[in-house]
Structure 1
Amino acid sequence: MTYKAPVRDYQFLFNDVFQVEQYNNLKGFEEASSDVVSAILEEAAKFTEEVVAPLNASGDKEGCTLHADHSVTAPKGYKEAYRQMVEAGWPALGGDADYGGQGLPHYVNMAFSEMLTGASSAFAMYPGLTDGAIAALTAGGTDALKALYLPKLISGEWSGTMNLTEPHCGTDLGLLRSKAKDNGDGTYAVSGQKIWISAGEHDFTDNICHLVLARLEGAPEGVKGISLFLVPKFIPDAEGNPGERNSLHCAGLEHKMGIHGNATCVMIYEDAKGWLLGNAHEGLKIMFYMMNNARLGVGLQGLAIGHAAHVAAVEFAKDRLQGRALTGPEAPDKPADPILVHPDVRRMLLESRALIDGGRAFLTWVALQADLAKSSPDEAVREKANDFVGLLTPVVKAFLTEKGLKITQDSMQVHGGSGFTEHFPASQYMRDVRITLIYEGTNGVQALDLVGRKLPSKGGRAPMSFFAEIDAYVAEHEASSLVPEFVEGLKSAKAKLLDGTMWLMQNGMGNPNAAAAGSLDYLHIFGLTALSYMWAQMAQAAKQKIDAGDTDPYYATKLKVGQVFLKRILPEIDSHLQRMKAGSEDLFALSEDEF
């Protein structure tokens, strides 16, 4: 199986759908001309297809190794691939130019991240965690800390991690026990045990910079007493190079269902020297910069693995001979027809394609909002874009991972019994994708975040702005659209999303269990509406190219796939709305003894 990076899809999204060159007057965008970005996409495809993808299966089989001295080595080939990635400048693609980054827009870096993750999700997690550390350090670090650490993190010379979870607490971080003592010299002594720390120890970089949540002596109980510390594996010397080894180590590696090539570590801190990020007792505020970055990254991971699994399934469906087409032999010169002739195989492949195309557009649109929130000179544009990113982060994380699992599952089903063996890649993709629904906040937690925090925040400004965005698009295109069925589908989806929102407002305050019980269905309604918005824009752009005389078959194919979304996926919104409105009474009808 050969991984195929989605270069053409990103060119279509950047140039035809979102027409990103209209923003070339903004900081960072001026270097991102279509020619430059197209060249970046082509080179990214070459690197991920030829260097990283071949390591995916071997890395899965070998896994990581913990040695007696607490060091960890990654699977064969990982260190060399990481070196090539750093030398080519890929980690610095979207990094702040003031600290040695290339300063390109986030949407460009996001495209590379999807390709890297699709090629090998376990490998991509190493630089992916560093991106989150950069976000937190940028938000909470002093000028001196940023000057010392950011250039090395952005270049990939050093890497970063996120240390939240402890053996007795995961989502409920208010229970954490890790402690920090003030050393009186601007540093702190951090002690505690953290588990499930992705990329916590490895042999790629000269230093690993751990971001650790801990509680200062005398701090308030609960989440209000948590602080965030930068705790490097090696304490930088006067020249900023790795010096004395800090008092921390990896005490164990998790034996996991998937992502075997990534070192998931138990980390022990024993009065390790650390530096406070942000203010005391405000650690979660700073850590959320990293967590939100990670949640968007996990949504991307779910989609990227789904895409890779789909590529493998299409290849298998074209090659595997089994049975005959119901309408008569399609390959009479062969003993049987390729299974691609069978309607149910086509259903699974095309539903997956419609979700992948829509999900990729959604990721690109949200990444573009992040760019506008950062770079637009218009305060109103920045505010709206920032609202969109905050509102949609839980939707990206939960909806795209749920659909990534479905895509991967259907891709395995296309393989039949072969997919259940380790001779084909389907089983690895299935094992790798499953974690995406769990880590960085389970999808149930994401749904509660959407309903309980994001919807009512600032008087509901963000959802109302999102609804207004869709209403404006419908009003502009309803009468003159080249693809009226897509506009009508969007209008209907938005009406159902509004219906669900009003139901939550009317029922959620009086019965929080009812709102919580329907929260994941509501999130799916939101996700389907967002994908409907993306498909309306993609269909319009494709039809415009066709009507302008462009004979590239890509555009006609895009419209055909869009019809699958309209007819087979978007109708799911009705069942989600009905389930949401069922409330919680049936879920609480059983006593504990009846379970």
Structure 2
Amino acid sequence: MPYRAPVNDLRFLLDHVVGFDQVAASARHAEATPETVGAILTELARLTDDVMAPLQRVGDTRGATLDNGVVRASPGFGDGYRQIAEGGWVGVSGDPDYGGMGLPISLSAAANDMMSGACLALQLNPLLTQGQIDALEHHASDALKALYLPKLMSGEWTGTMNLTEPQAGSDVGALTTKAVPNGDGTFAITGQKIFISWGDHDMAENVCHLVLARLPDGAPGTRGISLFMVPKFIPDQDGNPGQRNSLRVVSLEHKMGLHASPTCVMSFEGATGWLVGAEHAGMKAMFTMMNNARLMVGVQGIGVAEGAYQHALAHARERVQGKTPIEGGTGTIVDFPDVRRMLVQMKAEITAARAIALACAVAIDMERATGEAEWAARAALLTPIAKSYGTDTGILVAQLGVQVHGGMGYVEETGAAQFYRDVRVTSIYEGTNGIQAMDLVGRKMMDGGDAACRLLEEVEANAEAARATLPTLAEAVWDASETLRETVEWLVGQDMQDRFAGAVPFQSAFARVLGAHYLLKAALAEGGEGPRTALATFHVTRLLPEYRALLDQARAGAAGLYALSVEDLAG
């Protein structure tokens, strides 16, 4: 089944729901006119639909391989990557002074949504480079920027991030990779990193690694970590790939999915590296990259959900099974109530998650355009929600897609299972969704819940504006928002252990309320009658009510989690 980029849905959300007009009205992004946005998304759709989507199954069945120390990409991936690079899509939001398009993060999010839906394994490569570009723009020296950014923006070189070690996963401060000064401004990097996506390949001239390591005088924990640029090939005096650096791929992981995206074990053996940012300030620089990546990983989940939904809908419209249950029906399973329930839920979840992610991107754009602290707080608040709900949506929708296919969904040849296998990791990497929830109730509530309450004030104001047109939906959204606000006020008065115990259900409840809010806005923009209104009605009546049970869980505290001892759990 061919993938078709959801250009119309993205345009509608940008134009009518998430406030992109504010971004386009800013001096920084005055070129992002409706005509420009339309042209960009239409052009990218040709790439995703005609070039990337045909690589989806090839990459799954003929994954990346390690051949004599070199990683070989799946058949066709080199040409697909080349077309991504030549189209300028790697540097879509990069600084124009270094060859980027300089477009808003909102459009980068829309682009990554489309590319993820077409072929997640290939999209992951430029996404990592985009994160590296962001980190270098904010923290690298002028010399490093001048050398690396043009090559990364053009796609001639690609980027990775190297954090995790066998003993240091979420606890990054436990890393043991060492950086020793060479006396000439460079450093010798020694250590092993695992789970390095696209850590090597044969699609570009050079692979540039951002590596977290500890200097000899680095303090224990995260405070003593520095960040280094460690390229596969050391650039010569003309800035071209020269001598091979002292690093290698030890092995590739054998994974549940994403077979075409090589996940490498990397060994750095006195490799030459250059400091990025200040000494012992590596986590600050890396978080710049990770925050960008967390939003875009949420977008990955949404893109895969779109692909899985399209796949399931096509099957449901073709599969004849039994007598049609409705008069004038198609005679296919799409007419059956439970199949229709799954399909409508898939679409509602995708639309809600997409709106939340785009709203987060708009907040990032506005903070960069205005420098206002309120926009920064909004972006920070929405990032963990966008990441977790976007990836949860990808997993749920892909799982429902298998169910819609019935027994054939369990057969690999249909392609339905691949969406689930590929997307499953997104709730794990770039900070598990549980860690996102802890961040939401911890760091993001250090303001006493002010940013959350300001956002909920907007939700309630929109609900008030909708009362005349859609009174029942408006009342339900207003009530949900008010209950969530009360929970925020309760939450900030609790100790951190009790907050963490209810963090995941709290985060899920927040996503449910925001999703209903954005779908209600879409219904209002439609005039209160039409398919978007029907979708909003489904969400508000069938999905939104979950928030009550979720908030009950959020308030339950930590004690019940420890009522069973470890021995009890084992027994």
TM-score, with normalisation over the residues of structure 1?
Answer: 0.93
Deviation at 1:483, TM superposition (A): 2.8
1:28, 1:104 within 8 Å by CA — same for their partners in 2? Answer: no
Quote the residue 1:405 is aligned against: 395
Corresponding letter in the other structure for 2:415:
P
The whole-number CA distance in structure 2 between the counterparts of 1:111 and 1:403 is 16
The whole-number CA distance in structure 1 between the counterparts of 2:132 and 2:505 is 32
Which of residues 379, 393, 416 in structure 2 aligns to 1:426? Answer: 416
The whole-number CA distance in structure 2 between the counterparts of 1:462 and 1:486 is 25
Q: Aligned with 1:84: secondary structure?
A: helix
The whole-number CA distance in structure 2 between the counterparts of 1:561 and 1:498 is 25
Deviation at 1:280, TM superposition (A): 1.2
1:489, 1:532 within 8 Å by CA — same for their partners in 2? Answer: no
Q: Does 2:239 correspond to 1:252?
A: no
Q: Aligned with 1:270: secondary structure?
A: strand
Corresponding letter in the other structure for 2:384:
P
Quote the residue 1:440 is aligned against: 430
**In the comparison of the two structures, how many residue pairs are matched?**
569
The whole-number CA distance in structure 2 between the counterparts of 1:174 and 1:17 is 40
2:11, 2:38 within 8 Å by CA — same for their partners in 1? Answer: yes
Q: Does 2:498 correspond to 1:514?
A: yes
Quote the residue 1:537 is aligned against: 521
Deviation at 1:19, TM superposition (A): 5.9
Corresponding letter in the other structure for 2:329:
E
In percent, how many aligned pairs have the same letter? 44
Q: Does 2:146 correspond to 1:159?
A: no
Quote the residue 1:551 is aligned against: none
Q: Evaluate the alpha carbon distance shift between residue 185 and residue 422 of structure 1 in structure 2; reply closer, same or farther with a 3 A threshold.
A: same
Q: Aligned with 1:330: secondary structure?
A: coil
Quote the residue 2:11 is aligned against: 11
The whole-number CA distance in structure 2 between the counterparts of 1:52 and 1:478 is 41
Structure 2: gaps of 5 or more residues: none
Corresponding letter in the other structure for 2:365:
D
Q: Does 2:481 correspond to 1:491?
A: no
2:462, 2:521 within 8 Å by CA — same for their partners in 1? Answer: no
Which of residues 331, 344, 358 in structure 2 aligns to 1:364? Answer: 358
Deviation at 1:28, TM superposition (A): 4.3
**Residue correspondence of structure 1 range 171-570 to structure 2 within 5 A:** 171-327=170-326, 330-331=329-330, 337-376=331-370, 379=371, 382-456=372-446, 458-475=447-464, 477=465, 481-506=468-493, 508-509=494-495, 512-543=496-527, 556-570=530-544
Deviation at 1:474, TM superposition (A): 4.1
The whole-number CA distance in structure 2 between the counterparts of 1:329 and 1:562 is 25
Q: Aligned with 1:150: secondary structure?
A: helix
Q: Aligned with 1:539: secondary structure?
A: helix
CA RMSD of aligned residues (A): 1.6
Deviation at 1:583, TM superposition (A): 2.2
1:486, 1:539 within 8 Å by CA — same for their partners in 2? Answer: no
2:460, 2:477 within 8 Å by CA — same for their partners in 1? Answer: no
Deviation at 1:536, TM superposition (A): 2.1
2:363, 2:375 within 8 Å by CA — same for their partners in 1? Answer: yes
Q: Evaluate the alpha carbon distance shift between residue 460 and residue 17 of structure 1 in structure 2; reply closer, same or farther with a 3 A threshold.
A: closer
TM-score, with normalisation over the residues of structure 2?
Answer: 0.96
The whole-number CA distance in structure 2 between the counterparts of 1:169 and 1:295 is 19
Q: Does 2:33 correspond to 1:33?
A: yes
The whole-number CA distance in structure 2 between the counterparts of 1:123 and 1:497 is 39
Larger mean CA deviation between 212-221 and 459-468 belongs to 459-468
Corresponding letter in the other structure for 2:35:
D
The whole-number CA distance in structure 2 between the counterparts of 1:432 and 1:449 is 25
Corresponding letter in the other structure for 1:303:
I
Deviation at 1:469, TM superposition (A): 3.0
The whole-number CA distance in structure 2 between the counterparts of 1:82 and 1:538 is 35
1:199, 1:263 within 8 Å by CA — same for their partners in 2? Answer: yes
2:257, 2:418 within 8 Å by CA — same for their partners in 1? Answer: yes
Corresponding letter in the other structure for 2:215:
L
Q: Aligned with 1:205: secondary structure?
A: coil
Deviations 1:508-544 (A, max 9, x none): 31xx432222110000111112212211211111117
Deviation at 1:478, TM superposition (A): 5.2
Deviation at 1:470, TM superposition (A): 2.8
Quote the residue 1:64 is aligned against: 64
The whole-number CA distance in structure 1 between the counterparts of 2:327 and 2:309 is 27
Q: Aligned with 2:492: secondary structure?
A: helix
